[in-house]
Structure 1
């Protein structure tokens, strides 16, 4: 799996026009429950040339690629470093998970510095973001009755709780469950690993899962209320300095 992902990421990045700061794999592969038909969700940040950022035409702030490659489904999205750093300074959980993903398949010498600064951008308000995302995905599960969004709900809530309690980003649901010990998660994960992205939960005990959803939402709220994390990010000066250096080195 690791070798295949390395090869896929290299092929995707070879087709990009701008230097990449880093690229990591997220989605089901990061969360710990990929099916045989799961996308390879590749995310990262690139550096636009100076003419694109000081002139009137800023056309490639976001790069996207959605296609099949070597029989695998590719979902690639990259933002220019200015946009990416701006998102990092907001309560954007996606960029945090991309930066702290253990599945980093491309990095420059600046990536470790970015990861250190990102740690200073974690706030208690990220708990709000995880809460909001869980609510949206729960609505999808209620409508579709598919296993994937149900697992996303629990993964999102546990990641948010863990972040509020420890200040660390952990997105793998199996590692998270070592801490929170939800007895039903193992069976749900096994079902997804041996099933597909479209696996249905037609006979799901909705009252039980809704009760767990509400309970974990309250637990996340409590963790956020008692969190020692700051309310505002503290890494803006360091991000500004890093952005300037990236522009000078890669933007010519």
Structure 2
């Protein structure tokens, strides 16, 4: 089991606190990673810490009469920092993977690893088999939701989430890889607006800081342009129309549930 302390510290995360918290979970965790603003590369000094992962329910929880705890969630305050931990049972998580759901792929492939296992590594290896052209719909929809939130609030956070989602979708369509880190995407996607580094710097001072009203028109033009680029990238993408990893993922879930070893 390995914690990537270098990357976690580089993202400004409390390594010791995160690993200790996972030890309080009621059952085995297949993996736990950091998502949210820390993963996206624009945390504020008052950002909360979003932990996401997968637990494995015992077989008897799924075949008995009681409703299984497929999703576990808890929030708490640690020295003034809000912590948020959400985990899904492996079967539920894999079912989400088989849908065009970029969010779960970002959790699975996050480089900010708090806990990992051999099964996590195997699941990561199967991720390309579920990436499809239809994942563009996820990023298009998420960007739309965040843009509407920005229009209501004027905050930098939903504006950056909008740009991040569109750029992640474009990069996925073009390369078949998931990159959720906005500063990295600025270097890899030529269509990224030149104003984004300044917006990232401004958000670092406050989680709910407001965008400059004078920038709204330019932001709207940038978002509209990226939607067009995403449309083009989806149309030209070499990704398949449907996931191809169902059989391998089914086998992984069965082996994990029955406690069988990972094949070498």
Pairwise TM-score range, normalised by the shorter structure: over 0.9
Alignment of 1:93-132 (within 5 A): 93-132=102-141
Q: Distance in 2 between matches of 1:210 and 1:230?
A: 31
Q: Distance in 2 between matches of 1:2 and 1:101?
A: 11
Q: 1:199 aligns with which of 209, 212, 216?
A: 209
Question: Higher mean Cα deviation, 178-187 or 41-50?
Answer: 178-187
Residue number in structure 2 paired with 1:68: 77
Residue number in structure 1 paired with 2:150: 141
Residue number in structure 1 paired with 2:45: 36
Q: Report the CA distance between 1:221 and its aligned residue.
A: 0.8
Matched, 1:48 2:57: yes
| Residues 71-126 of structure 1, C-alpha deviations (whole Å, 9 max, x = no match) | 32101100000100000000111110011111011011111110011111000000
Q: Distance in 1 between matches of 2:56 and 2:258?
A: 10
Query: Structure 1, unaligned stretches of length 5 or more?
Result: none
Residue number in structure 1 paired with 2:251: 241
| Residues 41-63 of structure 1, C-alpha deviations (whole Å, 9 max, x = no match) | 00000001111111121331101
Equivalenced residues, count: 249
Q: CA RMSD in A?
A: 1.4
Residue number in structure 1 paired with 2:237: 227
Q: Distance in 1 between matches of 2:114 and 2:90?
A: 18
Q: Distance in 2 between matches of 1:95 and 1:199?
A: 27
Residue number in structure 2 paired with 1:187: 198
The residue matched to 2:52 in structure 1 has which SS?
strand
TM-score, normalising length: structure 1 = 0.95
Matched, 1:214 2:224: yes
Query: Structure 2, unaligned stretches of length 5 or more?
Result: 1-6
Q: Distance in 2 between matches of 1:154 and 1:177?
A: 10
Residue number in structure 1 paired with 2:160: 151
Change (3 A) 1:241 1:5: farther
Q: Report the CA distance between 1:13 and its aligned residue.
A: 1.1
- The answer to whether the Cα contact below 8 Å between 2:62 and 2:68 also exists between their aligned partners in 1 is no
Matched, 1:91 2:100: yes
Runs in 1 of length 4+ with deviation above 6 angstroms?
none
| Residues 144-198 of structure 1, C-alpha deviations (whole Å, 9 max, x = no match) | 00001100000000000000000000011111001225210111111112x1111
Matched, 1:23 2:38: no
TM-score, normalising length: structure 2 = 0.91
Q: Report the CA distance between 1:22 and its aligned residue.
A: 0.2
Q: Distance in 2 between matches of 1:5 and 1:114?
A: 26
